[in-house]
Amino acid sequence: MARPATRSLSLGAALYVLAICAAIVTLEGWREWVAHDAAVLKAELDTSNLARSMRQHAEDTYELAEQSVSMVAFQLNTNGTDAEGLRQTQAFMTSTMAGTQRLRGLYVYGADGNWLATTAENMPPGDNQRAYTYFQNHLHSASGAPFFGAPIRAAGDGAIITTVSRRFNNPDGSFGGVIVAAIDARYFSGVYHTIDVGESGSINLFDGAGRLLSREPYQPKFIGTDLSGTEMFSQQLATRNSGAYQFVSPIDGVAKIGGFDRGARYPLIAVVAVSRDEALASWSRSAVQHAAITLALTLGAALLGLRLAEQIYRRQKSETVLEQKEAEFRLLAESASDLVERFESDGTRTYASPALERLTGYGPEGLIGRNAFEVIHEDDRASVRAAAERLRSGASEQETVTFRRMHRDGRELWLETSLRIAAEQSDNPSVVGVTRDITERKRLEMRLESMAMQDGLTGIANRRAFDMALSREVARSRRTGAPLSLLMIDADRFKRFNDDHGHLAGDTCLKAITEVVAIGARRPTDLAARYGGEELVLLLPDTSLDAARTIAADLCRQVQSLAIPHPRNPPWRVVTISIGVAAIDPREEDAVHDGSWLISLADLALYDAKSQGRNQCVAAPIRIRPRLAG
């Protein structure tokens, strides 16, 4: 009667072996699928990052072109358009071209479309630009903003070029002509040629309308082609400005993985694509190798399993199977990459897996029996104790805590631990914790938080960072009785500067002013921030009104000494600033301890500085009543 039972046990063992083999194949297939997705994701990230770099490079080139036409416009306005003035302007254009290889040339065309000045050595006769779209745009638009033209074929060598142009006016305000900076599509192709994207890969640059501006490999017949109907423009760019996707190239028909990035300042879109087969070639080779190894291991496991089933059939040693399973389980627990620990309800550590030494540098034997809370950073200890108390009280079944502790080599680690009550019948159950290292993730989070507090244009603190610092310093001033001063800074007649020189020059001017203001923040507690537009603020804790006024006067002098030309800022004819100074002094009997009041008071003082002639600082009295500041 024992024979059927034995056969049943043997059949069960054989089925178990088959299930293990199936699990191995399934897990290996899943692992390869994950590896495949990782390879695709890596290709998407690489192409997205490269597209971002290519877009930035293209924006730098177009920014250079925009700056060049703006400077030529300034030269024309300064020198005039008579013969001597044009000679001086052409000399300036030639010197500008000598300093860059990104531009094909600079050209000045009169109102009739014929050229007045050029950097081209052999300008073809009859090169009239009146029929071109960009010329007509400036002819019929009084705007002084730059215009980014569609790809055109250049006269002479037939090269494909794109243009950045700007209108200039006669002294009477009438249309005087067009200044043009030309960019050769072959320049971008030459830069892209140095970047390896595989035999079937490509680097493409489009304008905002979907026209191809440049491509590597360089194929002139495709330059200027309208691809706005492709998936990237109709679907991808409709919902996001950057990313990656998989597609079949409409140009060469190759299946590709592509990353794209659209510029914010210029109508430019960079697309970097690699062949899907080339991107996954390494994974394909690895998958074939792993499949062969898995097949061999599976066959070996099957043969061994059948042999084990035969032994079970003959000897009925179920205890051997149990011991094997226990050994496998222990091996899995001891070789896990995450740290597994067990604690008593008071935090005493009773078990720690070998991963503890890899994670912290300390061996398990030195920490068993010690309280786990003592190694946690003191700033995080309270939150971890609160989570442990919720587990002990039954308020929650599982808690995840994040805390800092020191590595044996002195590094600070960020760890994340999942805590759960052990499934055991006891009045004082233990706690099981699984811990992993999240140091890199926390550093990235803190870096991103720091970036969120910085103004993108000037590089100093933004309005959000200033508001937080103001609240903090006002509270500290109340607590310590120390004075707190604020400088509200504004560039004089800055709108006129932008109108005369363009917003790009205005941004450069604002950066120069910001560098001077930032120098005024000499102490770690001082804060220079961009308040909005061209308004800057300088927060000075532990600084009296008189000291702040001295700093403000020095800033006015330093900005004026920059000598940035500003003809429409009389009488100085250079860029200047006005500053309103206000302070909170808790020692004054009628002092108001309020951040918004301090801002309003400094703003009123700034208004007084403007109304009294600009290029000066005005300090508001501390004892002014809140209703007057409102």
| The predicted structure's pLDDT at residue 345 | 75
Can you give the pTM of this predicted structure?
0.44
pLDDT at 410 over 50: yes
**Which stretches does DSSP call E strand in 96-159?**
105-110, 115-118, 147-148, 152-153
Confidence of residue 362 (pLDDT cuts 50, 70, 90): confident
pLDDT at 131 over 60: yes
pLDDT at 8 over 70: no
Chain segment 220-245, per-residue pLDDT in tens? 788 888 888 888 888 887 788 888 88
| The predicted structure's pLDDT at residue 361 | 80
Pick 629 or 361 by higher pLDDT. Answer: 361
Domain spanning 453-629 has what CATH number?
Answer: 3.30.70.270
Q: Which of 195-199, 332-336, 590-594 is predicted with the least confidence, judged by mean pLDDT?
A: 332-336
The pairs formed by 23-30 with CB atoms below 8 angstroms and a separation of 24 or more are 24/294, 24/297, 24/298, 24/301, 25/294, 25/298, 28/290, 28/291, 28/294
Q: How confident is the model over 493-509, as a mean pLDDT? A: 93
| The predicted structure's pLDDT at residue 319 | 58
| The predicted structure's pLDDT at residue 72 | 92
Q: Which CATH number fits domain 339-444: 3.30.450.20, 3.40.1190.20, 3.40.50.2300, 3.60.15.10?
A: 3.30.450.20
CATH architecture of the domain 7-306 equals 2-Layer Sandwich (3.30)
Asked if 356 contacts 342 with a C-beta cutoff of 8 angstroms, the reply is: no
DSSP string, 468-479: HHHHHHHHHHHH
| The predicted structure's pLDDT at residue 368 | 83
**Same topology between domain 7-306 and domain 339-444:** yes
Confidence of residue 266 (pLDDT cuts 50, 70, 90): confident
| The predicted structure's pLDDT at residue 393 | 81
Average pLDDT of every residue of the chain: 84
Chain segment 299-356, per-residue pLDDT in tens? 887 788 777 767 766 766 555 554 565 455 455 556 566 888 888 878 888 888 888 7
DSSP 570: T
Q: How confident is the model over 112-131, as a mean pLDDT? A: 80
Q: Which of 233-247, 416-430, 603-617 is predicted with the least confidence, judged by mean pLDDT?
A: 416-430
pLDDT at 377 over 60: yes
Three-state SS string across 511-525, please? Answer: HHHHHHHHHHCCCCC
Chain segment 110-120, per-residue pLDDT in tens? 999 888 888 88
Give the whole-angstrom CA distance, residue 610 versus residue 488: 12
Runs of H (alpha helix) within 108-209: 133-139, 185-193
Pick 590 or 3 by higher pLDDT. Answer: 590
Confidence of residue 603 (pLDDT cuts 50, 70, 90): very high
User: Residue ranges per domain, the chain?
Assistant: 7-306, 339-444, 453-629
Asked if 506 contacts 431 with a C-beta cutoff of 8 angstroms, the reply is: no
Give whole-number Cα distances, 215 to 65, 201, 255, in Å: 20, 11, 17
| The predicted structure's pLDDT at residue 329 | 41
Token pair of 373 as six digits: 């809370």
% pLDDT > 90, the chain: 26
Q: Degrees (nearest 5) of the Cα angle 264, 103, 216? A: 70
| The predicted structure's pLDDT at residue 629 | 38
